[in-house]
Amino acid sequence: MKKLCLFLITCFIILACNKEETKYGITNIFMPQAVNMSGGINANYTVPSGTDSSTYNYQLDEENKKINIILGVSRAGMQASEAFSVDIVTNTDTINQLLTNGILDTTTLLMPSSMYTLPTDIAVAGGKSEGTFNLSVDINQIKENQYAGKKLALAVSIRSKGKYEVAPSLATTIVIVNVDALVIGPSVNITAAYVKNAGLPFIAAEMSSGGRWGTLADWTANTAAKSHTGYGGFSSDAGGTMNLESGWGSPAIHNGKIYQTMTLPAGTYTFDVSNLNWQGTKDPAYIVIAPGKDTIPDYSNVSGNTEIYSTLFTAPKVTFALTEETKVTVGFVVDYIQDQQGFKINNVKLLNYPKHL
């Protein structure tokens, strides 16, 4: 009996020891960026993310003119202590398929290979479970005009070198760089500090006897713009809008201008006229920024003028840069030939971008 008890106790101890030494879980490697933004819904990794330098998912290398987007690998499951490494590759077919299937929006382009560099592999030292590497993007290339308003996408994948398996569903990160958000950065509305009588509503300095048409306070309107019996630039519509309108019994407006001059410090800006009550221009009508000028040019001198910035009302935002404190005139110039056309603006905005590449 004693021998039987001793045998059972010995077996129990052996089994207990074996249970303590049993290791559960399958060790594999994955890319945290493939899951951490969407929670597993997709593998999209948008750049930039965060709101300040402590949460950005990139770092600037100003000396080498690079944007270093932070990527990485991690080991999950049984936490073995051995070193490991994986290869790093890209896959253009993945992005092209996402574009073809409409999964990525129409503003997205495949990031050209000339724009970026990646390491060919990453090694994680023994005793560590994760490591990081950079997708380095050339600042000068990403700032080229052809990429303004676009997103650039790149599929970055890891491949096992044999030590551990790579989790297939977390092996690829779809890096999506929002060019404007990265190059220009978050905007700050500085309208109140620099623009007088910016709207919502616009205020008239004087009104016609009919009570609808007026002349704007704090803005200059030339004679052509004052097409309603000597008044123009303002209408009482919608409580007070900036207005240049012809037809419906009103005369045509040829070389009509409305403008305002201010002094701005060095920086990058957008003059935003997108809050339109009505956009009914038929002939090209220009929104103009004229640095160093007291006025805006005549209508015939806008197109092709390299001394100014301009756009049409079909794309009513103008972004411009100043290298030093500069007098700037912002405004509008039209030449209405066709009948019954014009615009009504609810308000204008001036935006600044303190964080700018």
> In angstroms, rounded to a whole number, what is the distance separating the alpha carbons of residues 240 and 226?
16
Give the pLDDT score at 20. Answer: 39
Nearest Cα neighbor of 343 from 355, 352, 331 is 331
Domain ranges (residues) in the chain: 26-182, 189-352
Task: Provide the percentage of residues in the chain whose pLDDT is more than 70.
Answer: 89
- Beta-carbon contacts of residue 211 (< 8 Å; ≥ 6 apart): 236
**What's the pLDDT at 3?**
43
CATH of domain 189-352: 2.60.120
Instruction: State whether the Cα torsion 223-228-229-235 is positive or negative.
Output: negative
Span 314-349, pLDDT tens digits: 999 999 999 999 999 999 999 999 999 999 999 999
In this predicted model, what pLDDT tens digit does every residue of 209-268 receive, in sequence order? 989 999 999 999 999 999 999 999 999 999 999 999 999 999 999 999 999 999 999 999
Which one-letter amino acid corresponds to residue 21? E
Distance, CA of 121 to CA of 5 (rounded, Å): 58
**CATH number 2.60.40.1740 is the correct assignment for the domain at 26-182:** yes
User: Vertex 151, ends 96 and 353: CA angle to 5°?
Assistant: 175
Residues in the chain, pLDDT under 70: 1-25, 36-40, 51-55, 78-80
Give the pLDDT confidence score for residue 78 in this predicted structure. Answer: 65
Confidence (pTM): 0.63
Do 216 and 234 meet the contact criterion of CB atoms below 8 Å apart? yes
Domains 26-182 and 189-352 share a fold: no
